[in-house]
Structure 1
Amino acid sequence: MHHNKLLAKLGRADRQNLLRCGEIVQLEAGAVLHKAGLPSANAYFPIAGAFALVGGLAEGPQAGLALVGRESMLGIHLVLGDRIAPVESPRLPRRPVGLSQTVAA
């Protein structure tokens, strides 16, 4: 199985702690993990596939803002202390696998 590059950069103790507390999840194609403006509790570290960050005006079309793949994580707003997702994050249609980690309040 592939590895998340961000997790690989962590020190061994920190990485082991995240891996011990997290779980590998299989996601449906197109699954929306974070909805813009709504609270979220899980951060995701993709190990295969990618997530799109999608945003737009409340009364207009949405546009792709960024991609999150194995080099990063989905849910950086949680690490920064904000539970409200700033953008929507659907998963792109490819083999969906990631490490899900619940972020404590």
Structure 2
Amino acid sequence: MSDQPTVRRFGSVIRLLPEKREQYLALHAEPWEGVLERLRASHVGNYSIFLHGDLLFSYFEYSGTDYEADMAAIAADPVTQEWWKLTDPCQERLPDTPDGEQWLALPSVFFME
């Protein structure tokens, strides 16, 4: 663990269930401020979710110094847990997604700053 934050970039993918599409899009049209505050407090920024067909692609940047602790704080947050109770049923994990993960993490193959 370093004391100096460096930006780490994360991309991930998951399937959006067609029958839950409108519900998922409506939730993300007006995200809960408590969820956004927790993300910011955990050093998550430039967070975007893109939609292609029935695939959701997520991208965010992490600028903290203790990724595991910050992700644990997000997972432990009661507001975020309530949000996930609404969003997770809209999604279907992809076959290669590791146990305990919702989204499949993608390897970075190119970056230009």
After TM superposition, the score normalised by the length of structure 1 is 0.26
Q: Which has the larger radius of gyration?
A: 2
Which structure shows the higher helix fraction? 2
After TM superposition, the score normalised by the length of structure 2 is 0.25
